[in-house]
Amino acid sequence: MLSAVLYVAEGLEARAVRELLFERREEAQAARQGGVVLEDNQGAIALVQNPLSSGRTKHIDVRFHFIRGLFGSGDISVKFVPTTERHADLLTKALSRASLQYHRRKLMNMPE
């Protein structure tokens, strides 16, 4: 079930990436580059990469399968990032002091 929730979140994130790519095209940038969605759940990545549905995924609303189309057309890619390297956790979770300092240094491009 967690994979389905994260898959839905990826779909929403993919829409945001697509809108950013559209804005970049409107700004007449020469090179069209695809976006990258970073995910720490391998089940959610498998849902993006596998165009088939199963009994466990049929409850996911069709509008959230939008990310599969973007992935299939090459507009975005999905990359696995270990949970320990998810620097946005600094903004969303209660962290230990060491973890907080580590993520803060990474986000601010500070030396370790």
28: left (phi over 0), alpha (psi -120 to 50) or beta: left
Which helix (H) or strand (E) segment is 97 a member of? helix 97-107
Same-domain pairing of 14 and 54: yes
Same-domain pairing of 97 and 108: yes
- Short-list 74, 63, 64, 8, CA closest to 39: 8
Same-domain pairing of 29 and 68: yes
Same-domain pairing of 38 and 88: no
Q: Which residue has the tokens 């779909």?
A: 11
The residues near 54 (Cβ < 8 Å, ≥ 6 apart) are none
Residue pLDDT, tens place only, 83-100: 888 888 888 889 899 999
Total number of domains constituting the chain: 2
Same-domain pairing of 91 and 61: no
For residue 6, give its domain range. Answer: 2-81
pTM above 0.75, yes or no: no
Residue pLDDT, tens place only, 29-80: 444 557 788 888 898 898 888 876 666 666 676 666 788 888 888 878 899 9
The DSSP 8-state label assigned to residue 39 in this structure reads: E
Same-domain pairing of 24 and 38: yes
The residues near 26 (Cβ < 8 Å, ≥ 6 apart) are none
